[in-house]
Amino acid sequence: MRRLLWPSVVLALFVAYPLLFSTPFQQRLGALVLLYAIAASAWNIVGGYAGQVSVGHVVFFGCGAYAAMGAYAHFGLSPLVGIPAGIVVSVAISAVIGVPTLRLSGHYFSMATIAVAELVRLIVTNTDYLGAAVGLSGPTVPRNVFDLSFISALPYYYLFLSLLLVTLGITWWMANSRMGFYLRAIRDSERAARSLGAPASRTKLYAFMLSAGLTSVAGALYAMMFGFVDPESGLGILISVKILIMAALGGAGLLFGPLVGAAILVPLEEISNNLLGGQGAGLTFVLYGAIIVLIARFQPGGVLTLINRIRAKRRKAPETAVAAGATHAP
């Protein structure tokens, strides 16, 4: 039971947050934290647990966003209908990229995913059907509740919270299944894992496909909240980078790492943009860059690892005192 204590307290705080902080800015901020937490948790499956650092996740994010907006713009359907389509396309793309590149070692995978992301962005920017450089818009006036077009951020907040729970649930289930054990073994040493019979390529591919599907859901939700998608907001490489940094800052390969990272970085970005205005965009990313360099240099495990280490040290201290006193130990 004690294991569930902290997660329940945190969950209660998340449920209560929009009631305690009820200005539009605060509610919108909360919704954005949850949205990025979904995307970063999805990235975490392949980037954290499997140790394959994808810098191209924006492709899947964009697939979801374009599918949701496309369903409305081309067929007059609810953007919700686009979600499954986005998932299918994302998973297909991830398989096409994954089969050749997951054979390669880490750096190649990262480079290949960057190239795919840029290629997709260039193709979409030159495709009129997808709105080219202008992008696609969602419903300006909601026809019914299924258009998911709300003025207040509150409905989005609870929608994102429930989807974050689903994402974390899937991640938890995966991490504790056979697949999770395979992935961690592969991350630590692929050669050793293979020699013990772990199907490395297949497991990495499954993780990549699962991660791609979940990321596309995050993209679809993002487009619904903002009501449009264009190549910059849906396929810009900086979105990949943000997702990756949030997961790494919180703690890659830890269940709650991405949530912690999003809860730190999203408010930081929103507040610095608000304070600094147009100039802020540049400075925010300078700050982002500095944070990543510092994590990589001093704390590659992320903030959660640091906290866990401090807690372990504090717990260990009294134990050793007891052990020193207990001379009659068996």
Which residues of this chain interact with another protein, rule CB under 8 A?
Answer: 47, 51, 53, 55, 100-101, 103-104, 106-108, 110-112, 114-116, 118-119, 122-123, 126, 237, 241, 244-245, 248, 252, 279, 282-286, 288-297, 300
Minimum CB distance to another protein smaller for 142 or for 280: 280
Minimum CB distance to another protein smaller for 160 or for 208: 208
Q: Which of 329, 15, 54, 314 is nearest to 162 (CA)?
A: 15
Minimum CB distance to another protein smaller for 14 or for 182: 182
Cα 41 to Cα 83, 84, 205, 326, distances in angstroms: 18, 19, 17, 44
**What residues contact 161, with CB distance under 8 A and at least 6 apart?**
14, 15, 34
Task: Please say whether the beta carbons of 217 and 38 come within 8 A.
Answer: yes
Name the minimum Å distance from CB 301 to another protein: 9
**What residues contact 133, with CB distance under 8 A and at least 6 apart?**
125, 230, 231
Minimum CB distance to another protein smaller for 153 or for 209: 209
Name the minimum Å distance from CB 187 to another protein: 9
Residue 229's H or E segment, with its range, is strand 228-229
Name the minimum Å distance from CB 105 to another protein: 8
Name the minimum Å distance from CB 257 to another protein: 12
Q: Which of 199, 201, 202, 211 is nearest to 174 (CA)?
A: 211
Minimum CB distance to another protein smaller for 37 or for 46: 46
Backbone region of residue 127 per phi and psi (left: phi > 0; alpha: psi in -120 to 50; beta: other values): beta
Name the minimum Å distance from CB 174 to another protein: 19
How many angstroms separate the CA atoms of 232 and 239, rounded?
9
How many angstroms separate the CA atoms of 35 and 306, rounded?
25
Minimum CB distance to another protein smaller for 115 or for 154: 115
Name the minimum Å distance from CB 147 to another protein: 35
Strands 136-137 and 228-229: antiparallel
Name the minimum Å distance from CB 117 to another protein: 10
Minimum CB distance to another protein smaller for 24 or for 100: 100
Minimum CB distance to another protein smaller for 206 or for 288: 288
Name the minimum Å distance from CB 216 to another protein: 21
* Number of residues written out for the chain: 330
What is the three-class DSSP state of 211? helix
Minimum CB distance to another protein smaller for 166 or for 188: 188
Burial of 239 (0-12, 13-18, 19+ CB in 10 A): buried
Name the minimum Å distance from CB 291 to another protein: 7
Q: Which residue has the tokens 């962005």?
A: 121
Q: Which of 94, 47, 17 is nearest to 257 (CA)?
A: 47
What is the three-class DSSP state of 228? strand
